[in-house]
Chain A
């Protein structure tokens, strides 16, 4: 209990204060319940129902058919696996790159650390869509990078890897996300007591051993926050695959999008959404267990 709460509870006007508190949170409460909790729960229910394709009335309930559709169709399973693979790959590469930059800023730069940190956030005053548009022009079989390479005579034909495909989605998501992850990692690196590092060195550890045994474990809170930051939006991503993914880079989010906005099969789409949600919840729980909720909130 923080001191202010204590004060409130000791005040003779406790009852009145409680009423005031309830009145003040009612609008936010209602908003969260009506636009978030009820819709998500109704999607959960919908995933066990069968809807009439046109009238959207419930034909049968409960049924596992929607989940069977997902797991018996090889195409869908392939997209799900690709999404998981891409998400893990993006998480590793963007957190890794952000770690390197954060480490560099913390330990190798002596002056103007914060200016450099800020500079890395600057390109993202630009909207996400603008960054995606830029990559759309850079990549592609006849995109800027390929045409540049060809005109310089470095390759004879366009490099297929730089077309619109899953690799491009990985590249673009890594490039978009890593600047956001520098800050939380930097914060936990900056917090480390420098005397610990000196002690490790004095006791004869090589710089690499010091990093592995002292620096890295102490920076883990920041790393976990960074993982959370990138993992959640990436696994539900559907915009970047639509822009630079071509036909082979589509992700699970695109399937959900199609079921709801093109195919109008809300029931099947709901089952897909619930699967995605389960994966996210699992990942969040694992991360919270690893580090503890309190510590995670501290480093946020």
Chain B
């Protein structure tokens, strides 16, 4: 019995190290004099100062926020429409639609990315933030729609009927009854869509022009200009902090809307 316990501890500790140590060390190194051990002149904020002066760095974070914001908005609206239609209505080609909806989830990003890229270039579009947004909406639609579909399934339709029996028109019913009831689903779909866009490297790298999102900026700097990597440690720490704040805020909003 003792022996198996020791074995288990080793496996789990190994897993914890594998999952947590890279980010912890990255954080420490962002406060270090050089991106290597041993710690020297620790802690220093010089990489954070350098980051704010580095051309394109802050701009790319703003771009990321914009791309993720637009992606979230469009994906959630399409998700509400799609989820409502899938649960409440019958239409021709429903199973084809469901299959098409799930397909982007099982096709590797590189294939979707280069397909979309060659298609958009052929249409005469230049790679820009807009092409990235188009790609990100494609990535987010299946998740947003599925989340909202499950919300509509768990929805008591008689509440809507009661409102309409009491004289509310369709729009008022939607605004006062339907929307509040599916709010938790909307928030979950929004979080998912935002995170999908915020974290995506692969699709954005393929579709980016001269305007870059933050992960694309990091990718091009890592592979092309390795001597600026320390600046990226500061940048990713800031983005990590932002993501945590966002996660907590949305968690709160989710709780608030349920109660």
Is B253's CB within 8 Å of the partner chain A? no
Instruction: Give the residues from 233 to 261 in chain A that come closer than 8 angstroms, CB to CB, to chain B.
Output: 233, 235-239, 242-243, 253, 256-257, 260-261
Question: How many residues does chain A have at the interface if contact means C-beta atoms less than 8 Å apart?
Answer: 84
Once the chains bind, are A8 and B111 in contact (CB under 8 Å)?
no
Once the chains bind, are B88 and A123 in contact (CB under 8 Å)?
no
Once the chains bind, are B109 and A233 in contact (CB under 8 Å)?
yes
A128 contact set on B, CB distance < 8 A: 199-201, 215
> In the complex, what's the smallest C-beta–C-beta distance from A80 to chain B, in angstroms?
14
Is A195's CB within 8 Å of the partner chain B? no
**Once bound together, how far apart are the Cα atoms of A191 and B18, in whole Å?**
27
Is A202's CB within 8 Å of the partner chain B? no
**Once bound together, how far apart are the Cα atoms of A184 and B124, in whole Å?**
43
Instruction: Give the residues from 237 to 258 in chain B that come closer than 8 angstroms, CB to CB, to chain A.
Output: 239-240, 243-244, 247
Is B82's CB within 8 Å of the partner chain A? yes
Is A81's CB within 8 Å of the partner chain B? no
**Which applies to chain A's interface (DSSP): helix, strand, loop or mixed?**
helix
Once the chains bind, are A8 and B90 in contact (CB under 8 Å)?
yes
Residue from the list B85, B115, B202 in contact with A39, Cβ < 8 A: B115
Instruction: Give the residues from 121 to 160 in chain B that come closer than 8 angstroms, CB to CB, to chain A.
Output: 122, 134-135, 137-138, 141, 145, 153, 157
Contact A175:B19 (CB < 8 A) given known A104-B8, A130-B236: yes
Is A17's CB within 8 Å of the partner chain B? yes
Once the chains bind, are B145 and A36 in contact (CB under 8 Å)?
no
Instruction: Give the residues from 119 to 140 in chain A that come closer than 8 angstroms, CB to CB, to chain B.
Output: 120, 123, 125-138
Once the chains bind, are B137 and A31 in contact (CB under 8 Å)?
yes
Residues of A within 8 A of B (CB): 2, 4-5, 7-9, 14, 17-18, 20-22, 24-25, 27-29, 31-33, 35-40, 42-43, 46, 56, 97, 100-101, 104, 108, 120, 123, 125-138, 142-144, 147-148, 151, 174-175, 178-179, 228, 232-233, 235-239, 242-243, 253, 256-257, 260-261, 266, 269-270, 273, 276-277, 280, 284
Once the chains bind, are A21 and B88 in contact (CB under 8 Å)?
yes
B240 contact set on A, CB distance < 8 A: 125-127, 130
A175 contact set on B, CB distance < 8 A: 18-19, 22
What residue in chain A is nearest B127 (Cβ atoms)?
A: A261
**Once bound together, how far apart are the Cα atoms of A242 and B214, in whole Å?**
17
